[in-house]
Structure 1
Amino acid sequence: MNKKVVVGLSGGVDSAMSALKLKNSGMQVLGLYIMMHENYTDSLQKAKQAADQAEIDFDTVDKRDEFKEIVINQFVNEYLKGRTPNPCVICNSNIKIATLCDEADKRGYDFVATGHYARIDKDPKIGRYTVFCAEDGKKDQSYMLWQLNQKQLSKLITPLSNEYKNILKNDAKKVFSAAEYDESQEICFIPSNDYVSFINNYLSAEQLPPPGNFIDSDGKIIGRHKGIHNYTIGQRHGLGIVLGERAFITKIDTKMNDITVGVTGDEFTDTFKADNLNFMVEDIPEYVTVKTRYHSKKYPVKVEFIENYVKVTSEIPLRAITPGQSAVFYKDNMVLFGGLIG
C-alpha cells in the first residue's frame, strides 16, 4: 500500500512543488491549508488552485484562534519587552507542523511535508532526528526549524532539500499558476511588513509603551524615543538624532525605558547567552558554529552550558546580537541545538 502524506499548502510555489514531487513518487497526497490569520483569502484560493493543478485531495483547517494566542500575542509581547521575535520559528513548532502532525494522526496518514528548504535525517547511532542545511544555501531554512521536537521530525518530509529555487520555479511554471506569483512576505500576518503600525493598531493607547530617553554609552540623554516597541537592536534609521557619525541602537532597557545609542563599533560583541534550548543531538562539542539571524552567516564560537542556558563566546565580534532572536548552532551542516538570545 502506498504511503500517505499530508502536505501543508500555503499558496506558494514551494509547497505546491513539494506536493507534486511526493505525488509523482507514488505517495497518496492530501494538501492541507491552515487558516492562521485573517489575511488568508488570497492564499487559500491559490492553495486550492495548486491542489487542483496537481490533482491531489485538498482540505482546510482553522487555527486562527491558536495562532493569535501563541504567535501573534507572543510577537507583540516580545516587542513590548524590548525583544525582537522570530514568529516563523514559533509558528513552525507550535502551529504549522504541529497541526500537520495532528491532522495526519487523525486521518491515518503516515507523514507530513512542507516546502521548507532543509533536510531531515535520523542518526542511526543515537536514534535521533535532526535538521541539515539545504543544498541551496541561499534558500536554506534549517534555522527556522530548530524548535521542532523528535516526534515532529520523525514524521516530517522536506522534498525540496536538494532543489535550487531558480530551477524549481522554472519547472513549476509547467504545472502551477503559483509559479508566477511573488514570494510571500516575511511576516504572513502583516502584509505590509510594517510591524510598528500593526502593534499600534493591535493594542490600545494605554497598552503601548510610553516615550522615553535615548542615551549614549555614558548614560547621557541625547534625545527622545517614541516607545520601545518602535525599535530593535542594531537599528540606525528612524532614530531622529544626530551624533556626528553613524549611530546604532545597542541596548533597550525596559525597566528604565531608556534606549542606548552607540556609534560604529559599539554594535559588536564577542559574547552572549541563549536560553529556552532545544537539542537535536545529545553530545555537543565545545566548538561549533552559530547563526544569530536567519540571513546571517555561520560564525565559529565556543559554547559553555550553565544551568538552563548556554554562554556563547566568539573570537570574531558579532554584530547586533538581539534579544528574542534565535541562535542556532551547527556542526558543519547539521543543526545541533538552538535557543533564544537573552
Structure 2
Amino acid sequence: MNESLDRKKVILGLSGGVDSTTAALLLKEKGMEVTGLYFDVSSGNEEGRRAAEAAADQIGIPFLYRNVHQLFQDTVIDNFCSEYAAGRTPNPCVFCNPTVKFKILTQEADRAGAFHIATGHYARTAYNAQLGWTVRRAASEKKDQSYMLYRLPAEVIERLLLPLALMEHKEQAREIARQNHMNNADLKDSQEICFIADDENYADYIKRHGYSIEEGDFIDKEGNVLGRHKGLIHYTIGQRKGLGITFGKPVFVTAMDPAANTVTLGDHEDLFSREVICSGSFFSMTGSSCMPEILEGARVMAKIRYAARPAPAQIMTKPDGRILTVFDEKQRAATPGQSIVFYLDDCVVGGGFIE
C-alpha cells in the first residue's frame, strides 16, 4: 500500500440517501476529512445528483460527481440482462460492488491522496492473522449486508470504513440524521434495483434492452408437457405465484433449461437439496477463484441468498474447479445466478455463483 496516502482522508460513496449521509456525519464527527462521491449509473440522473450534492452541502463536505454509465452498462446491466435471458437470477449489487462501486472509490481515493474509502453498508471489516483482511457480518443480523461484499479483494477491504457497522436498525441512522437536521432523514428507502424505474418491471426492462423473449413449455420432472410459459425471464426457482397455470394444488418452479426453453414445475419438496455447486468463485485471501488451502474441506457457514440464514456446511473443490458445498440440512431453492457466500465465524471468506 502506498504509504504516502493520507489516513485522515476518506472518499465516501454518497447516494443522497440516509445511510450514506449518516456514514458521512459519523466520519466527520471522528475528525476524518470526508469527500462525498456520487456515482451516476444512468448518465443524466439529475435528481439523484442534486440529492447527493445537497446532502454534501448540508454536511459541509466536498462533493465529487462521476458519470459511470458506460462502465455500469458494459458490466452490470449487460450481465443482468444476459443472465435473466439464460434462465438465471442475478444479483446486480454483488456484481456492481467490485467492478464499479469500489473500483471507482479506490481510483478516486488514490487520485485524492486518501487512504480510506467508505460506504453506508451495514457490515464490518477486520484483520485476522490467519485470514488477512475480511468483511465481517454487521452487528445486526437483520440489516447485515456482508453477503453483498464477498467479492471485494483484501487490498480494498483494508482501506474500507463502514461507519454503520454496529447499528442494530435503520432508525438509528435516521435519528442521527435528524439530530443533524438533515433534509433526507426520513427519505424512503430506494427501490430494490437502482437502475430500474419504479414504474417499470425488470422483464420489460430486459426486453427494452433488445433481448428477445420466447414462449416455451412447462414440463414436469418426467418431461411431460403441462402447458406454455411466457419466457424464462418471468420465472425464478421456488416461484409459486404468477405462473398462469393451475393444477388444483400448489406447484413451484423447480428448474429452468435455457437450451430447451423449458420451465420445470414440481412439488415443494422438490426444491430442497443438501448439495450446491458454484462457479465463478472468489476468495479474498487469494484474490482469485483459487480456494485457500485452509478452506479445502473446511466446515463453514454458508448462505445461498441475501435473506437466507447462514447454515453449517462443508466446502471442497471439484476436479473441474467448481466448488461443491454440502449442507448439514437441505436448503430450499438454491437458485442459479444467485451467490452462495461462505463464512468462518462471522468473517466472509469467499463465495461463488450458484450453478
- For structure 2, which runs of at least 5 residues remain unmatched after alignment? 1-5, 286-291
SS in structure 2 of the partner of residue 92 of structure 1: helix
SS, match of residue 278 in structure 2: strand
| Cα pair 2:7 2:114 within 8 Å, conserved | no
CA separation of 1:51 and 1:250: change in aligned 2, threshold 3 A: same
Bigger CA drift: 169-178 or 101-110? 169-178
1:1-342 to 2 correspondences below 5 Å: 3-38=8-43, 40-123=45-128, 125-126=129-130, 128-164=132-168, 165-175=170-180, 176-192=182-198, 194-203=201-210, 207-281=211-285, 282=292, 283-284=294-295, 286-307=298-319, 308-342=321-355
Q: CA deviation at 1:114?
A: 0.3
Residue 245 of structure 1 contacts residue 263 of structure 1 at CA under 8 Å; is this kept in 2? no
Residue 42 (structure 1) shift? 2.2
Structure 1-normalised TM-score? 0.95
- Any stretches of 5+ residues in structure 1 without a counterpart? none
- The percent identity for this pair of structures is 40
Kindly tell me: are residues 143 and 44 of structure 1, through their superposed partners in 2, closer, same or farther at Cα, counting changes over 3 Å? Answer: same
**Equivalent residue, structure 1, for 2:288:** none
Contact 1:273 1:311 in 2 (8 A): yes
**2:74 counterpart SS class:** helix
AA aligned opposite 1:235: Q
SS of equivalent to 1:179: coil
Kept in 2: contact 1:208–1:227 (CA 8 A): no
Could you tell me how far apart the structure 2 residues matched to 1:78 and 1:180 are? Answer: 35
Call closer, same or farther: CA 1:2–1:141 in 2, change over 3 Å: closer
Q: How many angstroms does 1:127 deviate by?
A: 6.9
Residue pair 1:2, 1:28 contacting (<8 A) in 2 also: no
The residue matched to 1:170 in structure 2 has which SS? helix
Say if 1:84 and 1:323, in contact at 8 Å, map to a contact too: yes
Partner deviation per Cα, 1:280-310 (whole Å, 9 max, x = no partner): 3432262111111111111111212124211
SS at match of 1:276: strand
Q: Work out whether residues 7 and 116 of structure 2, in 8 Å CA contact, stay in contact via their aligned partners in 1.
A: no
Q: TM-score, normalised by structure 2?
A: 0.92
Aligned residues: 338
Which amino acid counterpart does residue 196 of structure 2 have in structure 1? I
CA shift for structure 1 position 208: 1.2
CA RMSD of the aligned region, Å? 1.5
**Within 2, Cα distance between the matches of 1:39 and 1:220?**
49
Cα distance, 1:38 vs structure 2: 4.7
